[in-house]
Amino acid sequence: MAAESCAVPRLPLWRAEKASKLEVAWFFDAMKGRVPGEGEAELAAREAAAQVAGWLAAIPTFYKGALALRFTPRLWPKVLVREFAEWTSLVVRLACARQESDKPRSIDVAEAEAARGLLVAIEARRDARERQRLRKHAEDHVTHAFRAYLRARGVGPSPLPVAARGAR
């Protein structure tokens, strides 16, 4: 007699990777990076958000932050967006880390200063290698973050509501 399996269905790895990207993008964009309360979204969306939030909680904080910066919509000057596209928020944050300061300052102030520095460099056509390095660092960081998310998530089916799966 064959043993019966109660295991969760497994997706091929490439489908799980694709589902991971949809889940993370949906969570930070549609759900604003949080699990909505009762009455704020349909039950299926709240349950999916809770599942995605659980997987995100299982990965290192810096990876979760990288995904949040990559997928949370933000307004940036057009020049920065032309230069860095979807990586702009993460590039600006990485540029913040390179700034020296004698006094504590809010992340908003640090980001504004970093964005101004990047704008000046772009307009003066200088530091092209450094800008390229920042963009590559952002891309690599998100790639590693997705790998961590996929390890936490596994290859089971996506919890996203059907309507959300085709949204992107």
What's the CA gap between 165 and 38, in Å, rounded?
A: 22
What stretches of the chain adopt beta strand conformation (E)?
none
Q: Which residues contact 165 (CB under 8 A, 6 or more apart)?
A: 19, 22, 158
Alpha carbon distances (Å) from 8 to 5, 120, 156, 157: 9, 52, 6, 8
Q: Is the pLDDT of residue 32 over 80?
A: yes
Residue (of 89, 51, 83) closest to 68 by Cα position: 89
Res 5 pLDDT > 90: no
Domain of residue 31, residue span: 13-165
Q: Report if residue 152 sits inside a domain.
A: yes
More confident residue, 111 or 99: 111
> What number is the average pLDDT over the span 137-159?
95
Residue 3 located in a structural domain = no
Q: What is the pLDDT of residue 52?
A: 98
Asked, for residue 69, whether it belongs to a domain, the answer is yes
Say what the pTM is: 0.85
State the pLDDT at residue 93. Answer: 95
Task: Report pLDDT for 1.
Answer: 45
Is residue 40 in some structural domain?
yes
Domain count, the chain: 1
Torsion of CA 103, 104, 110, 116, to 10 degrees: -20
What pLDDT is stored for residue 149 in this prediction? 97
Let me know: does 104 contact 60? Beta carbons within 8 Å.
no
Report if residue 5 sits inside a domain: no
- Is 125 within a domain? yes
Maximal CA-CA distance, the chain: 74
